[in-house]
Every structure is written in C-alpha cells, then in structure tokens.
Chain A
C-alpha cells in the first residue's frame, strides 16, 4: 500500500475523454479530484456521463484519453483495477444487477470470499454488516423476493462487506420511499468514509453530502458549497401548521 498524506487526492482523473462507439464523447477533457473525507453529490442531467464516470473509476470502461490515479498510484490495466475494486465500492443503479446469489447471506459474503476471507470470517463480516444496516434477520431471505427498498439496502450491504475506503453510489434513492431514503441518508452519515453519489433529489443531496457538483459538456463543474436557502413552495394542506424535515 502506498502511503498518502491527508491532502493527497485518493482519486485523481486528468484529461479524461470517453466516447461510446459511434457517438459523440460523453466525457471530454474531464479533470476531477477527490480527497479523503469528501462527501460529494453529483447532480446532472441524464446522459451527461455520471454513470460513465463511475464505471471509468472502477475500470469497467476504459478511457480513450487521459490518466487515472487512485490512492496515489496510476491505474490502467485490469490487474490494477482488481486492487482498486477491493478498496472502492460501487453501488449499482439497479439492485437486481447487484444481487445475483440466491440468498442474502450468500450475496453479502460473495465479496469477502473473493478477497480470500475464510468462510467463517466472511459469514461474520456479512452478519455484522447486515445488522449495522438493521437487516439482521435477512440472512436466509431469497434475494429476488425482497422489496425494492430491501434490495437496495442489501445491495449496500454487499458493497460495505468489502470494507471499502470510498463508496460510489449510482442513484441510490431511485424508486425508494421516504422512509428508506431517510434511512439511507442516516446510514451514509454514520459511515465515516468518503463517498460520491449521483442523485436528482436536492433534499437528499443536502442531507447526505457536503458539496454538490454538476456536469456539463463532458466535464465536472464544482459548486463548493451547497447553498441552503429558503423559498416558497406549495403542497397539500399547506395552511395547517407543519414542519419540514
């Protein structure tokens, strides 16, 4: 492991260019840095390359130009990325892509087993992560019979079981109800690790991140602070006294 000072970026992208075959580039000359402790929200229109960016960081896609440095070390080959994936976790948009094993415990233990943990260690880790997420009694449940919210939380468990130093979350609250959303932002706030998440929900971004970036013309635009401000809004029963979370 390379030693790194606190200020040194854990993820550094320089001059990244990426295009899907036969299409105009999605990312063009993109620069990006993430330092330890960052909790970044990414709010940008559909098709602006958010998911592509995550997949480049994980080595699932290969940039046509530019360089990627992760934990202070340049990464380019599949072998480099195998190591990256042990330290960076990616939560996929669709939980059905992430959960492939028949039972919850099998799925959560998949990552730790791949990392060479023994069966007992893998089982202990999985149980610990599941109970951290309040899913202690989910062990034997069949993955495809879970509800949407349950699937999302179990997916998060499968990623957290690998004890990542950085999390990339691709639209984690898509299709979730308010209770599960609140739970997720609570979990994220308690994690104490760096993460970057894609979302279209401003309230969620304000609750769960410290900075919101956006993307345009294939690049990331920084907005160092989320500006919390008041404005008028409308909803049903607005004349009754009420509180907003």
Chain B
C-alpha cells in the first residue's frame, strides 16, 4: 500500500513551506524538460542530488524508487541508438549505431532522473494530507484536490474489501487455474469491488451532506511563509537561471 518513507524527517527541506516546494518542483521540472545541452542537464542533475542531500534522504532508498523509471529508460537505450538517423559511429552487419540516438537516450536518462530526484526531494518530503492541503491553497482546481485526497483515504478501504473477498474465495478452496470457472471468479471479484466502491462512495457522500457539505471544500491548513522559504525560492530561481544560461551558451535561444 501507500508508504511515505520520505515524508518522515526534519531536514531543512522538510521544514519548508509545502507550497514553495510544490512550485519549485514544478518550475524545476519544466525547465529541465525543455533543456537539451549536456552542461545544463549535468547542472540540473547535480542540483537534484544536492536537494536530496539537503533533505537528508538515504540515497539507496531513493535509488530503489528510481528503478521503475530507469527500466523504462532502458527501453530507449535498446531502441533509439539503432533507429535514429544521421552520423553512424559503429556498424556491424545489419546493426547500425547512430550518434544522434545515443545522445538522445543520454539526454532522456539525465532529464528523467534529475526531474524525479527533484520531485522526491521536494514533493515526497511531505505527506499526502499536506500535499492535498498545499495544492488546495495554491488554488488548484477543487475537484482535482478532492479526488486526490479521497483516493488516498479510500484506497485502503477498497484494499480491505479486496482482501475480504479474496479470503472468502480462498477459504472455499479456490485455486487459480486456466479455466472458465477461474476467469468467472476473477470477474465476479472485480465486479464486486466496483459495486462495493460505488456503494461506499454513495454512503460517504451522504455522510458528507449530513455534515453540511455543499460542494465547497474547506481546509484547516495554514502555512507560514517564513524567511527561509524566500531564501530557498531565490536559490531555486538562481539554479534555474544557471541551467537556462548554460543551455543558452551552448545552443543560443
């Protein structure tokens, strides 16, 4: 289920105003997504590492979080160098290695890891509740924030219901096989989960109406923007300027 191992901590980054962190993470992601120069990408990568360091996160568990993305990146490495066009750097029979493909794959690798590490350092260092409240305060669409919070709250309940159904199936001697009976059982289970989730949603909505809910979602959260948040913002802005400047000197605008 959902664990929030990075949200626990008391580092400089953990203590920053969540709203600043969300905006910084978004700005950083956009900037890194649009630059291509290796100097700029290397700078961004270093900045991300630095933020992880400041957040006091254990690099090994961060690396474990990066595995799924890099599995995806690996696919690029398997395809792009052989399918790009232009300058050939190596040729062996029908297999041709293109320089442009290798460059592109390397850019994607640096970009995705830099962005993800920045997100882990900045966004994963707050828990879901805080994230929802911060998004709400940043005037993100109410429906979006609401969906986000309710998903977080009820995914556990639905997981419980899934376990209940699964137990009921198992104690009556069900073992998965390749048979119509087995597929039917799975279909019933999934169908039942949907029905229960829908019924649950109805009851939750009723309970909310009983407490005066009329579509407007209020929250208690109040964040103070103290001096160190502005220092952090200035650092992030400088860092982004640096990345853009590096890109500029390499390619021009």
Interface set of A (CB-CB < 8 Å, partner B): 55, 58, 60, 82, 85-86, 89-90, 92, 94, 96-103, 105-106, 109-111, 113-115, 119, 122-123, 142-144, 158-159, 162
Contact = CB atoms under 8 A, between A and B. Distances in A.
Contact of A94 (B156, B203, B210, B220): B203
A182 B172 CA distance: 38
24 contacts: A55-B206, A58-B210, A60-B206, A60-B209, A82-B212, A85-B211, A85-B212, A90-B207, A90-B210, A92-B207, A97-B203, A97-B204, A97-B206, A100-B150, A101-B129, A102-B129, A102-B153, A105-B220, A110-B213, A110-B218, A114-B213, A158-B211, A159-B211, A162-B211
Contact-residue bracket for chain B = 20 to 34
Interface of B: 127-129, 132, 149-150, 152-154, 156-157, 200, 203-204, 206-214, 216, 218-220, 222
Contacts of B213: 110, 114
A122 B200 CA distance: 27
A186 B130 CA distance: 35
Nearest to A155: B207
Nearest to B218: A113
Contacts of B129: 101-103, 106, 142
Contacts of A82: 212, 214
A158 B154 CA distance: 18
B128 A96 contact: no
- Across the A-B interface, give the 10 residue pairs with the lowest CB-CB distance, nearest first: A114-B212, A102-B129, A113-B218, A111-B211, A97-B203, A98-B207, A144-B156, A90-B210, A60-B206, A97-B207
A102 B128 contact: yes
A123 B220 contact: yes
B214 A106 contact: no
A122 B153 contact: no
Contacts of B208: 100, 110
A226 B216 CA distance: 44
Given A101-B149, A103-B129, A144 B157 contact: yes
A120 to B, nearest CB: 9
A144 B153 contact: yes
A125 to B, nearest CB: 11
Contacts of A105: 220
Given A82-B212, A100-B150, A122 B220 contact: yes
Contacts of B210: 58, 60, 85, 89-90
Given A60-B206, A97-B204, A100-B208, A114 B157 contact: no
Contacts of B152: 102
Nearest to A162: B211
A100 B207 contact: yes
A35 B1 CA distance: 48
A144 B203 CA distance: 16
Given A96-B157, A106-B219, 10 more contacts: A55-B206, A82-B212, A97-B200, A102-B132, A109-B220, A110-B213, A114-B216, A122-B218, A142-B129, A143-B153
